[in-house]
Amino acid sequence: MYRVASASQYLAITGVGIDDIKLEKKAWILPGQSYTVFDISPVNYTFEVQAMSAEKLPFILPAVFTIGPRADDETSLLKYAKLMSAHDKLSAHVKELVKGVIEGETRVLAASMTMEEIFKGTKEFKQEVFEKVQLELNQFGLLIYNANVKQLVDVPGHEYFSYLGQKIQMEAANQAKVDVAEAKMKGEIGSKAREGKTLQNEARIDAETKIIATQRQGDGKKEEIRVKTEVKIFENQREADVAEANAELAMKKAGWARQSQLAEVEAAKAVAIREAELQKEVERMNALTRTEKLRAELLSKASVEYETRVQEANWELYKKQKAAEAVLYEKEKEAEAQKAIAEAAFFARQQVADGELYAKKKEAEGIMVLAQAQGVYLRTLLEALGGNYNALRDYMMINNGMFQEIAKINAEAVKGLQPKISIWSNGSGREAADGSGSSNAMAEVAGVYRMLPPLFKTVHEQTGMLPPAWMGSLTDGSAN
């Protein structure tokens, strides 16, 4: 928005791009800025100040002060805009402020002067009040354009000025009578002298009148030429001022347009940067997803690659063997000499050796790939089990059927031994396979405990697992 203040107004602008406050007569109000229009025309404030002289005599001092912002000082205008522009100049707030300053300074000054000094030195008293009040109003950016102190008025019950006026009136009347008598005497003497001088002056005035008339005509022509010259100069100056104002407005419009374009470019750049950041985050999440997917497929791909390479190696070996056999068959059919047969046999053996070597290399590469895949598999399991090696070992033994194989092997080992199996019951004693028995319960318990050490030792040798601490421990050749 473009705002223009009237002749007696200013725009106080604050907001974006302005450190404190800016005063202008006309300006563009940009987004994020606010403005206030304040008037600098002076206002009359009428007061009746009650004061007291040095003799403790009260009196009333009627005064009219014309006060307004100091228009010729930018610092004072800034003070007024900050402190006073929010209030109307005729509001009670401003009026009380001005009245308080004027009454305070007037009372202080009156208290230092006698009634005679105040009455006779009204002009000096007025000047003193003016200077003191102006000093206080400077801090608000206000200026006293005019101060008119009216006639001093008595407070009811203290008629000092009325008595003083009567005294002065009587003295003036007596002095007037004396002056009348002296005037009458001087008048009679002077009338005769005037008649003679009148005749003398008539002749002199006629001659001077003709001279002055001629001079006046010349001065009139000079004045006319001077006025026309000044008017032309003034018109040229006004045209120059208008051209300067138009140039200043054009420069400010260009500056505002540049600022607006810069703001639009900065906003577009900020949006582009934010979009790039969001796209970067999306790409990062996609990369993580692909990484997890590849990690999950790693084991299966490694197994497939191993099988593929083994088959390729077998196929290459088969092709080479068939080629060697074909060459050997041709050499045998064409064998006309022992040397040719030997060379063919040597060549066949060499091809077979190359094929075996190639197959071994491929098999070794497959084993390496499988080992790498198994390493990744074991490392993943170990991380999932929190680094617990014993838990990983137990899981691998269970998953690969190790315990079943151990049981099967032990069963095969004792299959043809026809072992004797003991069965315990609730107090009936121990019965053997041959039909013999015993009624001694303690002997049966002792037999059970004698059987535990070899059992724990066998389990330890076959699986590497130790019995719990509360059941006992194994030593070199004995058990607890």
* Burial (0-12, 13-18, 19+ Cβ within 10 Å), 444: middle
Rounded CA separation 268/270 (Å): 5
Q: CATH number of 42-158: 3.20.20.70, 3.40.50.300, 3.30.479.30, 3.40.50.2300?
A: 3.30.479.30
Please state, in angstroms and rounded to a whole number, the distance separating the CA atoms of residues 219 and 198: 30
Q: What number of CA atoms fall less than 13 Å from residue 189's CA on the CB side?
A: 5
Tokens of residue 422, six digits: 């003991």
| Residue-level pLDDT at 393 | 80
Which residue type, as a one-letter code, is found at position 206?
D
- When pLDDT is averaged across residues 104-120 and rounded to a whole number, the result is 76
CB within 8 Å of 439: residues ≥ 6 apart: 429
Interatomic CA distance for residues 417 and 401, integer angstroms: 25
Instruction: Give me the chain's average pLDDT, please.
Output: 77
Predicted confidence at residue 76, as pLDDT, reads 84
Residue 110 has pLDDT above 80, yes or no: no
**Mean predicted confidence (pLDDT) in 36-54:** 81
SS3 state at 335: coil
| Predicted local confidence at residue 422, as pLDDT | 47
Residues 6+ apart with CB under 8 A from 68: 40, 41, 42, 43, 89, 142, 143, 145
Residue 432 has pLDDT above 50, yes or no: no
- Report the C-alpha gap between 479 and 132 in whole angstroms: 116
Report d(CA 23, CA 19) in Å as an integer.
12
pLDDT for res 321: 82
What is the pLDDT averaged over residues 163-184?
A: 74
Spatial CA neighbour of 46 closest among 145, 149, 142, 137 = 149
Instruction: Give the model's confidence band at 350: pLDDT under 50 very low, under 70 low, under 90 confident, else very high.
Output: confident
Task: Extract the tokens encoding 298.
Answer: 């790693």
More confident residue, 454 or 376: 376
Neighbours of 98 (CB within 10 A): 21
**Exposed, middle or buried by CB within 10 Å (0-12, 13-18, 19+), for 172?**
exposed
Which range has the worst mean pLDDT, 114-123, 219-228, 420-429, 443-452? Answer: 420-429
Q: What is d(CA 135, CA 109) in angstroms, rounded to the nearest whole number? A: 14
Instruction: Return residue ranges of the chain for CATH 3.30.479.30.
Output: 42-158
pLDDT band per the 50, 70, 90 thresholds, residue 335: low
Q: What is the C-alpha separation between 209 and 216, in angstroms, rounded?
A: 10
Quick one: what percent of the chain has pLDDT higher than 90?
A: 0
pLDDT score of 151: 66
Residue type at 145 in one-letter notation: Y
Distance, CA of 128 to CA of 290 (rounded, Å): 91
- Cβ atoms of residues 480 and 463 within 8 Å: no
- Rounded distance between C-alpha atoms, residue 396 and residue 400, angstroms: 6
CB-CB contact of 103 with 109 (8 Å): no
- Average pLDDT score over residue span 156-176: 69
> At which residue do the structure tokens 């121990």 appear?
430
Q: Looking at residue 444, what is its pLDDT?
A: 65
CA 278: distance to chain centroid? 21
What's the token pair of residue 139? 């801090």
Q: What is the pLDDT of residue 294?
A: 76
In this prediction, residue 426 carries a pLDDT of 44
